[in-house]
């Protein structure tokens, strides 16, 4: 993929930002929220930024700093991060005051050089703007006296209220305090979090208080009298959205001069769950190693290098050091975490932790809480549950083998590479399945006691009335239906696996949902109902056997979770056979096809999206064509190949065979992949005695009719032998057929020889 | 965007006890289902034999053909003879490969199909020879 024409590097002034502003993707709204605090007319007193680990919160604040610095005449930006290296509260307070004055003077003088190389406090007095000279001098003198005095509280209050004092003298600032979770580790008598919360709420200075989402409010809570943070906005900072993460990878590939393609770009996004920190580290590593990332193997090599010795490795090492500085405890911790990660469910009891780490409760609980805050594990009173992020688990496995089991490094590298490489197609497959899933959970959440045509929830009825009917007619028919179903008011919807983890073994999380609600008012036990719904994989109408299996599974979920009253709703892309519908009726279950679900979704919220993209080049004897999947576009391909085949004087019968084979190949590509771009790539190469047609598409291989489906159903029974003929037909019609699975999709090569 | 029903819709006519369903120019899932629907409607309305005419059909795909098997099933259950007429070479080859010609007769054109059925005296519900163009 060429990115050179897409992005033109625009030079921008960077002071604290570690990446170029044009590469700072997907955070423009948050950036705007922070910079909007600068005018004195800002309606907000400040912002609380609850950040997921490695979501790029510090970079967000640094970018905001750079942006605010350029806005002359407005508030001065102040960025201060609590670091884990700092030992005491007093030291943090002193460093804050120094940072504050350096950055304030820098901004008011328009000289950014002080920001990264701050002069001494005494020098800052001389460097201060004449209008600030008096109060800066007085502040420094007072500070020096307080420092000598040894009153920690007085020192802390003096330092952290300096922005309020400055504002009262006409030097307003926006104070951004980062990594507030590190306050917890500082030694001292003062409740620093409480002091910060107090000054941020009562001074006329906007504060941005940023920290890990599991630790921020604990630090700022104020103990028995929790602070309300009136007038504060909230930012929940998570991984980048998928489209933004893709753009980030593309931009970094361009700036770091690393070749990528669409497949590896998407893999990188999936590997790092949209974390800008990990993506940037990964791309930078590829740049340093001067490697291209055009295959899964190359990507996984860099991934393993980073995991075992690069920036990603150092980040996890550093996180564990924050959790416990003791090397001995850390090694025992890695063993414990690894063992817990390999347990079913990734859980282990707290008591086991205490025994194995040989720690007293007052040492153990801070350690477990530190793991919890960093989301390396979840602390749930009686047990610890290890984080499921695959990057963290890969690190844990490799660290355990290297540091605890003392396996040879070469063996660990080789095993990790092989394992992650094997996992890459599964990672993508899971991503595609997730993208193609019908999103039952969201749909259920939108039910809101609305009334819909009953046929939308009874496939047999829908099929009887609307099969083969024009879309407009269906809409009119649904509008005219008098038999309506009142959907429940759903108050909570979650994946089935959240209630009953064994469901993860039989289906993807997003394909099965549980919705709690009420099917009538008032909110009483009698009206309480739980909808259990699942999406079944089936190319044709789902048969009775698979339908029965799914009904039983959902009933089992209902019973094991103790739901008193529940309703089953099964969804199959092509609906259900007559026998299956009979069963569903016996079980009093609802049933819908994908079409019904689309209609239902449109009726609950009429929105839809679409996306398109570009294509490439061709050679003299070679023709290339990209068609979107669906809407009979295979006909366009068939007509095109007919024209090309005529050039070589293929007889009419052979042309018909080529056309038919191509149509089948296109249908196959559309039906058998959960293609992310919904495109079919075709290449027609003319040689003296043959025509070679290559059809490829991205996505995964949906199990063939001879294999069991991903949901555990036996597709043979469903097929009744009437589908899955595509490849057989192609082999009959063409002379040579090669079907291969590539990194991220499939490729079918078909050859027809000219017989003169 | 191509949309088969805009180019040549599936339609049907009735000739006594025989329904003639005219397929559209591309036999795919959608048009196949429309043919199936027309056939079921015709059988439900009392027709005793069916002709599916493919004179407008240029291309056929395997999904469309698989739906024709459903049509054959429906006709068999109703003891109604079924004839495919005007099947071009491409479609005929597919019908052959996919086994449709084992269950339904092929006629050169609609007239020949009607002739074939009238000779059978459809009301007596005789099976008819299958797989050959008359």
Structure confidence by residue, pLDDT tens digits, A404-414? 999 999 999 99
User: Does residue A2 surpass a pLDDT of 80?
Assistant: no
- Using N-to-C axis directions, what is the helix angle for A361-373 and A350-357, rounded to 10°? 120
Mean pLDDT confidence for A109-132 = 90
Q: Which of B63, B69, B97 is nearest residue A732 as measured by Cβ atoms? A: B97
What's the ipTM? 0.78
CA distance B128 to chain A (A): 23
A99 is written with which tokens?
A: 């940072």
Which one of B61, B93, B99 would you mutate to disrupt binding with A, by most A Cβ within 10 Å of its Cβ?
A: B61
Is there a contact between B33 and A468 if contact means CB atoms under 8 Å apart?
yes
A716 is written with which tokens?
A: 């043979």
> Residues of A near B (CB-CB distance < 8 A)?
467-470, 631-636, 638, 652-653, 656-657, 659-660, 663-664, 667, 722-723, 725-726, 729, 732-733
A628 is written with which tokens?
A: 């979107």
Interface size A-B, in CB pairs within 8 Å, comes to 65
Residues in chain A: 756
Q: Which of A631, A653, A663 is nearest residue B61 as measured by Cβ atoms? A: A663
User: Does residue A307 surpass a pLDDT of 90?
Assistant: yes
Distance from C-alpha of A257 to C-alpha of A293, rounded to nearest angstrom: 11
Q: Which of A631, A638, A653 is nearest residue B59 as measured by Cβ atoms? A: A638
CATH 3.30.565.10 range(s) for chain A read 622-753
Q: Which residue of B has its CA nearest to A632?
A: B2
Distance from C-alpha of A603 to C-alpha of A584, rounded to nearest angstrom: 24
CA distance A661 to chain B (A): 9
Distance from C-alpha of A575 to C-alpha of A594, rounded to nearest angstrom: 7
Distance from C-alpha of A320 to C-alpha of A316, rounded to nearest angstrom: 6
Distance from C-alpha of A199 to C-alpha of A220, rounded to nearest angstrom: 11
Residues of A in contact with B69 (CB under 8 A): 722
Rounded to 5°, angle at Cα A561 from A559 and A564: 60
Is there a contact between A632 and B69 if contact means CB atoms under 8 Å apart?
no
Residues of A in contact with B30 (CB under 8 A): 468
Residue A469, CA distances (Å) to A616, B5, B73 in order: 39, 11, 21
A354 is written with which tokens?
A: 């205490």
| CATH dotted code for B4-124 | 3.30.750.24
User: In A375-527, at which residue ranges do the beta strands (DSSP E only) sit?
Assistant: 377-380, 383-386, 451-453, 484-486, 489-495, 512-518
User: Does residue B127 surpass a pLDDT of 50?
Assistant: no
Domain ranges of chain B: 4-124
Is there a contact between B60 and A656 if contact means CB atoms under 8 Å apart?
no
In words, the CATH class of domain A440-604 is alpha beta
In whole numbers, what is the pLDDT of chain A averaged over residues?
86
Short-list A268, A307, A259, A267, CA closest to A743: A267
- Is there a contact between A242 and A270 (Cβ–Cβ < 8 Å)? no
Residues of B in contact with A733 (CB under 8 A): 93
Is there a contact between B33 and A467 if contact means CB atoms under 8 Å apart?
yes
In this structure, how many other beta carbons lie within 10 angstroms of the beta carbon of residue A464? 12
Dmax (CA) of chain B? 46
User: Does residue A100 surpass a pLDDT of 70?
Assistant: yes
pLDDT at A550: 94
Distance from C-alpha of A109 to C-alpha of A469, rounded to nearest angstrom: 73
Residues of B in contact with A725 (CB under 8 A): 62, 65-66, 98
Mean pLDDT confidence for A523-548 = 90
A499 is written with which tokens?
A: 């209630």
- Using N-to-C axis directions, what is the helix angle for A459-466 and A594-604, rounded to 10°? 90
Residue matched to tokens 């949902």: A513
Domain A21-237 has CATH 3.40.50.300: yes
Distance from C-alpha of A81 to C-alpha of A57, rounded to nearest angstrom: 11
Residues 1-30 of B with CB under 8 A from A: 1-5, 26, 28, 30
Q: Which of B33, B59, B97 is nearest residue A663 as measured by Cβ atoms? A: B59
User: Does residue A515 surpass a pLDDT of 90?
Assistant: yes
Distance from C-alpha of A104 to C-alpha of A88, rounded to nearest angstrom: 24
Q: Which of A410-414, A730-734, B8-12, B128-132 is predicted with the least confidence, judged by mean pLDDT? A: B128-132
Residues of A in contact with B2 (CB under 8 A): 631-633, 635-636
Residue B28, CA distances (Å) to A135, A240, A594, A626, B109 in order: 83, 41, 18, 21, 21
Distance from C-alpha of A440 to C-alpha of A446, rounded to nearest angstrom: 10
pLDDT at A610: 35
Which one of A463, A468, A659, A718 would you mutate to disrupt binding with B, by most B Cβ within 10 Å of its Cβ?
A: A468
**DSSP conformation class of A347:** E
Q: Which of A467, A634, A656 is nearest residue B90 as measured by Cβ atoms? A: A656
Which of helix, strand or coil describes residue B70?
helix
Using one digit for the tens of pLDDT, what is the confidence trace for A433-475? Answer: 777 777 888 899 888 888 899 999 999 999 999 988 888 889 8
Using one digit for the tens of pLDDT, what is the confidence trace for A311-358? Answer: 999 999 999 998 998 999 999 999 999 998 888 667 888 888 888 888
Residues of B in contact with A470 (CB under 8 A): 5
Task: Assign a CATH topology to domain A622-753.
Answer: Heat Shock Protein 90 (3.30.565)
Distance from C-alpha of A338 to C-alpha of A401, rounded to nearest angstrom: 10
CA distance B117 to chain A (A): 27
Q: Is B36 within 8 Å of chain A by CB?
A: yes
Mean pLDDT confidence for A376-404 = 90
Q: Is B39 within 8 Å of chain A by CB?
A: no
Residue A457 exposure: Cα atoms within 13 Å on the Cβ side: 21
Q: Is B98 within 8 Å of chain A by CB?
A: yes
pLDDT at A506: 82
CATH 3.40.50.300 range(s) for chain A read 21-237
Distance from C-alpha of A651 to C-alpha of A754, rounded to nearest angstrom: 8
Is there a contact between A653 and B89 if contact means CB atoms under 8 Å apart?
yes
pTM over cut 0.80: no
Rounded percentage of chain A residues whose pLDDT exceeds 90: 48
């Amino acid at each position: 993929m060429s990115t050179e024409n897409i992005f033109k590097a625009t030079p921008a002034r960077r002071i604290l930002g570690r990446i170029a502003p044009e590469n700072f993707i997907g955070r423009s709204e948050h950036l705007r929220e922070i910079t909007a605090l600068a005018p004195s007319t800002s309606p907000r007193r400040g912002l609380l930024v609850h950040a997921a680990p490695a979501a790029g919160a510090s970079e967000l604040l640094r970018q905001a700093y750079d942006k605010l610095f350029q806005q002359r005449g407005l508030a001065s930006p102040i960025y201060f991060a609590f670091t884990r290296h700092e030992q005491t509260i007093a030291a943090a307070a002193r460093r804050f005051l120094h940072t504050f004055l350096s950055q304030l003077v820098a901004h008011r003088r328009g000289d950014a050089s002080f920001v990264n190389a701050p002069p001494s406090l005494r020098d800052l007095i001389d460097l201060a703007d004449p209008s600030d000279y008096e109060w800066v001098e007085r502040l420094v003198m007072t500070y020096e006296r307080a420092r000598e005095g040894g009153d920690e509280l007085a020192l802390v209050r003096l330092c952290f209220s300096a922005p309020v004092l400055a504002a009262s003298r006409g030097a307003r600032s926006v104070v951004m305090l980062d990594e507030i979770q590190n306050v917890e580790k500082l030694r001292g008598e003062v409740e620093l979090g409480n002091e910060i919360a107090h000054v941020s709420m009562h001074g006329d200075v906007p504060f941005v208080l940023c920290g890990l989402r599991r630790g921020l409010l604990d630090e700022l809570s104020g103990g028995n009298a929790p602070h309300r943070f009136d007038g504060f906005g909230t930012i929940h900072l998570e991984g980048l959205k998928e489209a933004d993460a893709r753009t980030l990878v593309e931009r970094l590939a361009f700036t770091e001069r690393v070749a990528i393609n669409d497949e590896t770009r998407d893999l990188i996004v999936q590997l790092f769950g949209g974390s800008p920190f990990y993506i940037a580290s990964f791309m930078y590593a590829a740049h340093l190693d001067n490697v291209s990332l055009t295959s899964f193997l190359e990507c996984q090599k860099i991934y393993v290098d980073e995991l075992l010795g690069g920036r990603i490795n150092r980040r996890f090492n550093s996180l564990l050091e924050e959790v416990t500085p003791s090397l001995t405890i850390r090694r025992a911790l890695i063993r414990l975490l690894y063992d817990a990660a390999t347990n079913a469910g990734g859980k282990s009891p707290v008591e086991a932790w205490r025994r194995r780490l040989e720690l007293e409760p007052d040492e153990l609980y801070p350690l477990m809480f530190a793991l919890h805050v960093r989301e390396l594990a979840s602390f749930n009173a009686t047990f610890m549950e290890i984080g499921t992020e695959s990057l963290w688990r890969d690190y844990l496995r490799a660290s355990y083998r290297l540091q605890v089991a003392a396996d040879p490094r070469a063996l660990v590298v080789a095993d990790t590479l092989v394992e992650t490489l094997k996992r890459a197609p599964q990672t993508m497959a899971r991503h595609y399945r997730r993208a193609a899933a019908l999103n039952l959970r969201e749909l259920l959440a939108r039910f809101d006691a609305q009334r819909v045509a009953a046929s939308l929830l009874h496939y047999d009825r829908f099929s009887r009335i609307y099969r083969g009917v024009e879309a407009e007619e269906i809409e009119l028919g649904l509008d005219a239906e008098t038999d309506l179903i009142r959907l429940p008011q759903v108050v909570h919807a979650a994946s089935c696996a959240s209630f009953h983890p064994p469901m993860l073994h039989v289906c993807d999380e997003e394909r099965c949902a549980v919705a709690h609600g009420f099917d009538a008012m008032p909110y009483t036990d009698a009206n309480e109902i739980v909808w259990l719904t699942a999406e079944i994989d089936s190319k044709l109408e789902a048969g009775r056997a698979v339908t029965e299996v799914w009904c039983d599974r959902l009933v089992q979920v209902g019973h094991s979770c103790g739901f008193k009253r529940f309703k089953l709703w099964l969804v199959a892309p092509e609906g259900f056979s007559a026998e299956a519908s009979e069963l569903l009726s016996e079980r009093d279950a609802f049933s819908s096809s994908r079409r019904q679900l689309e209609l239902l979704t449109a009726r609950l919220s009429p929105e839809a999206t679409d996306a398109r993209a570009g294509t490439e080049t061709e050679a003299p004897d070679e023709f290339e064509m990209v068609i979107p999947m669906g809407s009979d576009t295979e006909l366009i391909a068939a007509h095109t190949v007919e024209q090309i085949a005529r050039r070589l004087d293929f007889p009419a019968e052979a042309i018909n065979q080529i056309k038919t084979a191509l149509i089948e190949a296109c249908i196959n590509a559309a039906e058998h992949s959960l293609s992310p771009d919904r495109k079919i790539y075709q290449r027609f190469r003319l040689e003296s005695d043959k025509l070679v047609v290559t059809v490829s598409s991205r996505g995964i291989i949906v199990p063939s009719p001879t294999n069991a489906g991903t949901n555990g159903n036996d597709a043979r029974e469903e097929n009744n032998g009437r589908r899955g003929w595509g490849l057989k037909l192609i082999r009959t019609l063409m002379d040579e057929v090669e079907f291969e699975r590539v990194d991220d999709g499939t490729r079918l090569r078909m050859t027809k020889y000219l017989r003169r | 965007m191509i949309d088969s029903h805009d180019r040549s819709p599936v339609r049907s006519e009735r000739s006594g006890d025989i329904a003639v369903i005219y397929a559209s120019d591309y036999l795919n899932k959608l048009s196949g289902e429309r043919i199936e629907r027309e056939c079921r409607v015709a059988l439900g309305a009392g027709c005793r034999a069916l002709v599916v005419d493919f004179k407008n059909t240029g291309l056929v795909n395997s999904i469309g053909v698989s739906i024709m098997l459903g049509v054959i099933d429906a006709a068999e259950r109703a003891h109604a003879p079924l004839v495919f007429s005007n099947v071009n070479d491409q479609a005929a080859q597919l019908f052959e490969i996919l086994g449709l010609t084992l269950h339904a007769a092929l006629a050169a054109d609609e007239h020949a199909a009607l002739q074939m059925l009238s000779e059978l005296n459809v009301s007596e519900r005789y099976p008819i020879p299958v797989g050959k163009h008359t």
